[in-house]
Amino acid sequence: MFEYKPIVESKNFIVLDKYEKYSLIREEASIYQTEASLEKEFIQDLVNQGYEYLPELTTPEAMLKNVREQLQILNNVVFSDEEWVRFCEEYFDKSSDSHIDKTRKIHNNYIYDFVFDDGHIKNIYLVNKDDITKNRMQVISQFEITGAQANRYDVTILVNGLPLIQVELKKRGVAIREAFNQVNRYSKESYNSEHSLFKYLQICVISNGTDTRYFANTTKRDKNSFDFTMNWAKADNTLIKDLKDFTATFFQKNTILRILLQYSVFDSSNNLLVMRPYQIVATERIIWKIKSAHELKKWSTTESGGYIWHTTGSGKTLTSFKAARLATELDFIDKVFFVVDRKDLDYQTMKEYQKFSPDSVNGSESTAGLKRNIEKEDNKIIITTIQKLNNLIKSDVNLAIYNKEVVFIFDEAVNWDDVIFEIDLLKSQEINLDYILELIYEKNKDVKDKDTLVDEIRRIIRSSIENRTKESLIVDFINQTDLNKIQDKVSILADFYEFAQQEQKREAEELINEEGLNVDAAKRYILVSLKREYASENGIDLNEILPKMSPLNPGYLTKKQTVFQKISAFVEKFKHIGDKL
């Protein structure tokens, strides 16, 4: 019988191809254990893997003190007592924060510009995503919550002092659902109480020794079912269920940190998604394939490609989303294209991709728009359709990007025959703003009820990525205009742009007045943003439009972020409309 040898091995994959189960080595792993004995052994296994055990840390006061120490080490700073109180009140432990706010701080807003008492500003990190080895791992047990709802938690994993993982254990033989129900009770009673640092909780782990599962900590009713719990597994999908085996793999420090910081997604609907083992396997293999093609100089050949086959409902979009994001972080990759069939360009998918940042994700309303996006330096992920890509390649054979390293990720490649059929046989209508307006004119002849017309036009708008931000503007135009008086298609274009420019001026004045901005500076900043098609936080232009306020004022950064978000939304709505205020 032939013995097959691996062609390539990697020590960087967190989902293992090979793992010898602990239960095959020592039979006592499966004998009767009390819950206390199971907990003690679990903690010792974590300590053996490099975790620091803090048996005395059992109260909220002790946890907050430890967080201060850990963040000082991570950021190489020392907070005075007054500065620490201010840091907590301004950012880290705001009384108004919900679990969603805390989760957003772990995934999106994990860096805070803190102004120290002497006036200097420093970035304070909650977690280090660039070098995960800098994050310190600790374990505590029997943490107590007193008051109206007194609870005692089994085992908590701290990352830089933050309680990001909660583990609830039941002795072997007890149904694992009891541990799940206990976590649910804690979530309702005490995790989210005022000033509870357990609002930062990201992942819950439940185990009865013989079956161990993990799941995202979420308050969404449709996502906190036992059905959403997951077993860890090997690369071939062999489940790793025993707590001893689970600890040796899932809780290996590099693995759990990458699950927390790389393979979890906080989406635009405030859902926290933690990837399943097979999704991580697929993502890791895609990134490995990209790297190996580069290192072996195989890019632009069929050897540089590959495919991932996952069944319907397995979360393919999330997998490709994460693979695309990680591919953009590779220095040698110039662009990442996420290519879909036109029918699959639904609004929710685009929102998920835009969650990375407005500057790094872009869709194209036309072939010309796709070309412009390719030539830009400020956006790496380009979402497009196979039709536009095909049209561009046929029309321009000398693009500079043809000589650069790029990544194409095709969604739903199983429909490839249908896609090719559409390319060859269908003449697709590019849905741009002019086309939508002309459609309004045509449909108004047949549909006299404005509500019906609006519903039809909304569907068209949402199939055009670039125009989705103009949906409210177009709907307002329909509702506020006597469409029956419009003579022809040319007239509807002129009427719309006149209406839109008036709305642009009105909304700009409204925004400036509501936020108390410096009028002249604000208008200049908005006009520049409209011309370049996005608002920028770089430089001092944004600071100059703000009301006079000391950077030491706790509300300064909040005000700045609010103004920036409003102007960004304004620019998305009115770009290409006009550059006069």
Per-residue pLDDT, 4: 46
Is-contact 282 308, C-beta < 8 A?
yes
Per-residue pLDDT, 463: 59
Each residue's pLDDT, cut to its tens digit, for the chain (581 residues) gives 444 444 444 556 767 666 666 655 454 544 567 889 999 999 999 999 999 999 999 999 999 999 999 999 999 999 999 999 999 999 999 989 999 999 999 999 999 999 999 999 999 999 999 999 999 999 999 998 876 677 899 999 999 999 999 999 999 888 899 999 999 888 888 787 778 899 999 999 999 999 999 999 985 645 557 888 999 999 888 899 999 999 999 999 999 999 999 999 888 778 899 999 999 999 999 999 999 888 888 777 777 788 777 766 677 878 888 898 899 889 899 999 888 765 455 455 566 666 654 455 667 778 888 888 888 876 578 888 878 888 888 888 788 888 888 999 887 654 544 444 333 333 334 457 887 888 898 888 888 788 889 988 887 787 555 677 889 999 999 999 999 898 888 889 889 989 999 999 999 999 999 999 999 999 999 998 888 778 887 767 888 899 888 877 878 888 888 898 899 899 989 888 877 77
Residues of the chain with CATH 3.90.1570.50: 25-274
Q: CA-CA distances (angstroms) from residue 109 to 29, 72, 356, 434, 455?
A: 42, 18, 12, 38, 36
Residues paired with 437 in a beta bridge: none
Structure pTM? Answer: 0.67
In a 3-state reduction of DSSP, which class is residue 533? coil
Alpha-carbon span 448 to 7, nearest angstrom: 67
In a 3-state reduction of DSSP, which class is residue 412? coil
Per-residue pLDDT, 425: 31
Residues paired with 403 in a beta bridge: none
Q: Which of these, 226, 227, 231, lies nearest to 241 by C-alpha position? A: 231
Q: Is the dihedral of CA 267, 272, 278, 281 positive or negative?
A: positive
CATH fold for domain 277-425: Rossmann fold (3.40.50)
- Encoding tokens for residue 102? 């805390």
Chain centre to alpha carbon of residue 62: 32
Alpha-carbon span 191 to 150, nearest angstrom: 11
Q: CA-CA distances (angstroms) from residue 317 to 221, 232, 275, 282?
A: 22, 20, 11, 12
In CATH, which of 3.90.1570.50, 3.40.50.1370, 3.30.390.50, 3.40.1050.10 is domain 25-274?
3.90.1570.50
Is-contact 477 499, C-beta < 8 A?
yes
- Encoding tokens for residue 7? 């062609």
Alpha-carbon span 231 to 209, nearest angstrom: 13
Is-contact 93 195, C-beta < 8 A?
yes
Residues of the chain with CATH 3.40.50.300: 277-425
Q: What share of the chain is helix, strand, coil (3-state, %, to 5)?
A: 50, 15, 35
Alpha-carbon span 382 to 413, nearest angstrom: 17
Rounded to 5 degrees, what are φ and ψ at 462? -75, -10
Q: Is the dihedral of CA 358, 363, 366, 370 positive or negative?
A: positive
